[in-house]
Chain A
């Protein structure tokens, strides 16, 4: 009997090894090419030190048939990360923490005579509320004198987007969707305001870096005379990057939803009733994974997390997502991952052959989807018909908790302030009819002290 195997599409650049799925389990083949570095990682004490600090995913070595035997040194099974997210879905402080983690790992590796050979933001994932490196094969032996080959990648993947988000516009992390190997530094340099040249770190690592790249574009490095970079100089460079990143702070103000709970027509009774229903249903269903769509600062993600679920809390507003992330950090919340997502244009499949980075739906399904105070935005603001909304949500997960907000509600009336009401089908019976095509309606409860109705549904 053969077990179906499949190479992971994102894992092809590094000849040191690759990821593959076999029988639903994730494995990594370590190639003979990488043997000396792998052995050094495992015997130098660096692996244990990184695991102790929870900065690297752990793995176990297994005696399994390799995927490509002639290249293979070892097969390892890495600890799996719950949900793979991408830097263009992270808020400012998530990207900043991922950057600082990368630098800490690099510094720690240097202490053990190793170095990070890449500094891709895609190698960092959020697991149990913390950024961790998921690529076990990112280390190589440090030879004093040699430069950090991943310096450019670090600046493109982390520093440039952080500086752009801080000094130009918080939404510019979306450039990472277009530029899969990080934001080109000449572009970042052009988009950043002139005053960033007064920031020594950004001047050095972005503006001067971009100028030098341009000056030496196309020149071969081996044509240039040699000079070594001492370990102290390397530590100096890392410290400069660290302090530049650390000093970047961002508090986006005046964004759409971050003040939603303080600025809406909810009464306390309505909010509490809705929360108790969500808690009751989540406790009954015991979902392992929840997608909280339009989850704002995560109030209802907290409710399902308390019921034992891991919740991905998506919101379009980077300020709400950042606030949620920082709150989760303070509470040491390990079950909620806040992410930035525009549901009207969710993350597409990207990269080589459209397979390197998965689309949102490629990462489905969740056990439970929550769409609270959301459907009117999709149906009215974005003119998506209710059957289309139902079809999309049914692809996201099996069970659905959804709130229907009628036209009479003041939040919906706000949407009609500047436009015609062309939505004849947007009413309770139209909603139930539309969702009955894809779902079986299990429960529907009017929310106290409001005009809203909360539904529990199961995909047919």
Chain B
């Protein structure tokens, strides 16, 4: 199955690390799957924010994401 996947080859610029053929293939598959979750997550946040806005119009809204001490969500 994997041999039919199409992968972008990084051949336009020199690499000093060997990224590994297998590593690039699995990365493309995982990224495609996980990218879908990110895409869905963005819409989940938007819908959630919209709904919360409807029900808490007069209340000060809180952040949907819990505050992460390690500032993962700050960038």
The residues of A with any CB-CB pair to B shorter than 8 Å are: 13-16, 53, 100, 104, 107-108, 111, 117-118, 140, 143, 145-153, 155, 204-205, 208-209, 212-217, 219-222, 224-230, 232-237, 239-240, 242, 246
Q: Which of B6-30 contact A (CB under 8 A)?
A: 6-17, 19-28, 30
Given that A53-B71, A108-B75, A222-B11 are known contacts, is A209 also in contact with B22, CB under 8 Å in the complex? yes
State whether A237 and B7 are in contact (beta carbons under 8 Å apart), knowing that A118-B17, A150-B17 are contacts in the complex.
no
Residue of B35, B36, B70 most packed against chain A (CB within 10 A): B35
A225 near B10 with CB under 8 A, answer no
A interface footprint on B15-56 (CB within 8 Å = 1, 0 otherwise): 111011111111110111111111100000000000000000
Check B72 for interface membership: any CB of A closer than 8 A: yes
Q: Are A233 and B23 in contact (CB under 8 A)?
A: no
Let me know if A147 and B75 touch, CB within 8 A.
no
B2 at the interface (CB under 8 A from A): yes
- Complex: how many Å from CA A149 to CA B26? 12
A229 to B23, CA, bound (A): 13
Please give, as numbers and ranges, the residues of chain B lying within 8 Å of A234 by CB-CB distance. Answer: 31, 35
Picked from B13, B27, B34, B36, the residue with its CB within 8 Å of the CB of A147 is: B27
Q: Which residue of chain A has its CB nearest to the CB of B41?
A: A239
User: Which residues of B are found within 8 Å of A228, using beta-carbon distances?
Assistant: 8
| Chain B residues with CB under 8 A of A140 | 13
Tell whether B5 is near chain A: CB-to-CB under 8 Å. yes
Closest to A145 in B: B8
Chain B CB within 10 Å, residue with most, of A111, A147, A222, A235: A147
Q: Shortest distance in angstroms between B73's beta carbon and chain A's nearest beta carbon?
A: 10
Inter-chain CA distance A240–B36, complex, in Å, is 12
Complex contacts, A232 vs chain B, CB 8 Å: 35, 38-39
Q: How far is the CA of A209 from the CA of B17 in the complex (A)?
A: 17
Instruction: Judge whether A222 and B9 touch: CB under 8 Å.
Output: yes
Compute how far the CA of A205 lies from the CA of B23 in the bound complex, rounded to whole angstroms. Answer: 9
Top 10 A-B residue pairs of the complex, sorted by shortest distance between their CB atoms = A236-B34, A233-B35, A213-B22, A227-B6, A152-B23, A236-B35, A233-B31, A216-B22, A212-B22, A225-B6
Known: A147-B28, A225-B6. Contact between A237 and B17, CB under 8 A? Answer: no
A15 touching B16 in the complex, CB below 8 Å, given contacts A108-B75, A226-B9, A229-B32 = yes
Q: How far is the CA of A216 from the CA of B19 in the complex (A)?
A: 12
Contact check, A117 vs B24: say whether CB atoms are below 8 A apart: no
* Chain A residue with Cβ nearest B5: A227
A194 to chain B, nearest CB (A): 20
Q: Is the CB of B75 within 8 A of A104?
A: yes
Judge whether B26 and A212 touch: CB under 8 Å.
Answer: yes
Question: A220 contacts which of B2, B5, B21 (Cβ < 8 Å)?
Answer: B21
Known: A215-B2, A216-B22. Contact between A239 and B8, CB under 8 A? no
Q: Do residues A152 and B19 form an inter-chain contact, with CB atoms below 8 A?
A: yes
Chain A residue contacts of B7, Cβ below 8 A: 147, 221, 224-227
Q: How far is the CA of A13 from the CA of B17 in the complex (A)?
A: 9
Q: For residue A148, which residue of chain B has the nearest CB?
A: B27
A14, B21: Cβ atoms closer than 8 Å: no
| A–B pairs, 30, beta carbons within 8 Å | A53-B71, A53-B74, A100-B70, A104-B75, A117-B16, A117-B17, A118-B17, A140-B13, A145-B8, A149-B17, A204-B30, A205-B30, A212-B2, A212-B22, A213-B22, A214-B22, A216-B21, A219-B21, A220-B21, A221-B7, A221-B9, A224-B5, A226-B7, A226-B8, A227-B28, A229-B35, A235-B35, A236-B34, A239-B37, A242-B72
